[in-house]
Amino acid sequence: MAERARWVPLLLVAVLAGAVAGCGEEGAQEGAELTVYVSAPGRQLCDEAREAARGVKTSGEHTLRVVCLGTGSKDGGTLAKVGGNARRATEDSTTVAYVGEPNRETRKQSQPILASAGIGQLGELSGREAIQTVIAAIDEGDSGDPRAAVYDAIEG
């Protein structure tokens, strides 16, 4: 028992250090690369988003990088895959938006994960429309905090 008690403070310090390390500064420097995750079955939605983001810069001179995450099936994918995709987006500090699964019921699985990280989710749009929405939200919102600007425009 005494052996366990000796490790508890060390474990607590390690957990707190990890939490603080994940809290980086809010916002993005001008000209930073920002990421939009696309989670969908097939390639069409992602290809459209990539094409729409190619060479475009926001008013803050940000560029957009599109990361494609497949769901594995035409009906929207397994809950584990959808949840994993959403968690991956939340772990990336450059994420500003998530273009969710085309199926509304499937998107309900990723929504709480993304909302907890302040990431707006777009659904039922083409890849081009989604990227245009993200760019407009960044340009019209707080360019110092593009994630919050996109979240407010989409979810607010």
Q: 0.85 cut: is pTM over it?
A: no
Q: 128-148, pLDDT tens digit by residue?
A: 999 999 999 999 997 689 999
Residue pair 142/149 in contact by the 8 Å Cβ criterion: yes
Full set of structural domains in the chain with CATH:
30-155 (3.40.50.2300)
Over the stretch 48-96, which tens digit does the pLDDT of each residue have?
Answer: 999 999 999 988 899 999 999 988 766 556 788 999 999 999 999 999 9
What does the alpha-carbon distance between residue 50 and residue 156 come to, in Å, rounded to a whole number?
A: 26
Q: How far is residue 80's CA from residue 76's CA, in Å, rounded to a whole number? A: 11
